[in-house]
Structure 1
Amino acid sequence: MKRFLSLLVLLVALTSCEEDVKFNTPAVQGLKDNELWKATEYSATLGVGGALTITATNGFETVVLRTVSSTPGMSFQLGVNDSNRASYALEADGLSFDYTTGTGLGDGLIEISDRPGETNFERGYISGTFRFNAVDETGAVVNFQNGFFYKVPIAGIE
């Protein structure tokens, strides 16, 4: 009887284990004011001279990252000029809040990944990291940290 009970417990333990692995590829997410923020829709576009715009939204909130270049391995400081910038917008219940970086506004960094397999223009995707503090017209700040965009599809050229 002990063998039967042991075998039954072992059988139940083995059959109740399952792997429910979900891959998050592609993705745009980060910590917004220390809470997980995750986009449900995202795209990247290339502009004149290789300028990059990444747009990510979850329906009510939108993050836009802009850089003057999409060259892998490059880093772009935010808060120094209006060419490299990040913005965050929240629209819900008729209210709208807009935060941005720019010349003398906020700070941060956007980095384009040069790791093999993460950024590939021939296959049409780009990856990298970001962090920023963006400011609204009243001086309120929204903070994004540990942000990344991974294999975001390049939708086209502006």
Structure 2
Amino acid sequence: MKKIALFLITLATVFSCGEELQFNSPAIQGNYNGNLWRAASYAADIDFGGFLVQGTNNIETLQLITQDDTAGIYNLGGDNPSVAIVRDANGVIYSTANEPDPDFTLYPVEGQIIVESIQDTNPKTMTGTFWFYAFSDDGMQTVNFNEGVFHKVPIVGGLVAFDNGSSCLQATQQVNIALAVFNATDTTMPDYTDACNAYKNALMDKIDVCGDPDGSQQVIVDGLGTCIP
């Protein structure tokens, strides 16, 4: 009798896990303010040189935006250009690019987006995890996600990032794009001056938008000089 009961428990566990795996492939889900949250629709895009992962349950919408379009760990909050954004049922936008009001909370903005793998399927898909604390524009309201997962989300394009807290991200990604062109352009090429000036201008735009606390970006600008080889 004990063997039969054990067999039935094992069988139930197998089917339960199978249903969970089937539900979560593909999927975006996590604990949102302490409650299980699952996206009813999801997609990913590559924009400004980085990933944009979006999921919505038709009430709230989640966006995860990374600095680069490669697998890796992207820290959120502070001066980090990657950002997580939530738009709630009332249209309020919470972002890791917003600072909390010090009278509201002493907890800092923080989090991570971890892109674990990019699957070379058709279309390509991406898998990873995330967690974060995000704040409203006035810093007086907060939301959090933990144990977040995006699993085999298709990279299909056509997404637009919410207009909140992403200007530094976009400026950083424009620098990355300009740097790639600059690195591929030799000083003997006729396009060198244009490529150098484009990189220099992108750096100065980033300084204007993101600031330059340690002066490292200005050092690069100064090093480029007049962009005449």
TM-score, normalising length: structure 2: 0.53
Cα distance in 2 for residues equivalent to 1:47 and 1:96: 23
Tell me, yes or no, if the aligned pair for 2:43 and 2:153 is still in contact at 8 Å.
yes
Greater mean alpha carbon deviation, residues 31-40 or residues 17-26: 17-26
TM-score, normalising length: structure 1: 0.75
State yes or no: 1:129 paired with 2:124. Answer: no
SS where residue 96 of structure 1 aligns? coil
Change (3 A) 1:103 1:75: farther
Tell me, yes or no, if the aligned pair for 1:65 and 1:86 is still in contact at 8 Å.
yes
Partner residue of 1:63?
62
Cα distance in 1 for residues equivalent to 2:44 and 2:79: 21
Partner residue of 1:79?
77
Which has a greater percent of strand?
1
**1:68-124: CA deviations, max 9, x gaps?**
11212x111111236300011112xxx32211111646211001103xxxx214441
Partner residue of 1:47?
47
Q: Could you tell me which amino acid in structure 2 is paired with residue 150 of structure 1? A: H
Shift of 1:144: 0.4
- Specify which of 95, 101, 114 is matched with residue 100 of structure 1: 95
Partner residue of 1:112?
115
Q: Which runs of 4+ in 1 moved over 6 A?
A: none
Cα distance in 2 for residues equivalent to 1:104 and 1:81: 11
Cα distance in 1 for residues equivalent to 2:155 and 2:93: 25
Cα distance in 1 for residues equivalent to 2:120 and 2:155: 8
Partner residue of 2:157?
156
SS where residue 152 of structure 1 aligns? strand
Q: Unpaired segments of 5 or more residues in structure 2?
A: 101-108, 160-229
Q: Could you tell me which amino acid in structure 1 is paired with residue 110 of structure 2? A: D
Which has a greater percent of helix?
2
Q: Could you tell me which amino acid in structure 2 is paired with residue 60 of structure 1? A: I
Shift of 1:141: 1.2
Q: Could you tell me which amino acid in structure 2 is paired with residue 125 of structure 1? A: T
Q: Could you tell me which amino acid in structure 2 is paired with residue 84 of structure 1? A: S
Cα distance in 2 for residues equivalent to 1:121 and 1:81: 32
Partner residue of 1:6?
none
Cα distance in 1 for residues equivalent to 2:152 and 2:84: 19
Q: Unpaired segments of 5 or more residues in structure 1?
A: 1-9
Change (3 A) 1:31 1:48: same
**1:15-62: CA deviations, max 9, x gaps?**
xx874742121000001111101101000001233x100010000100
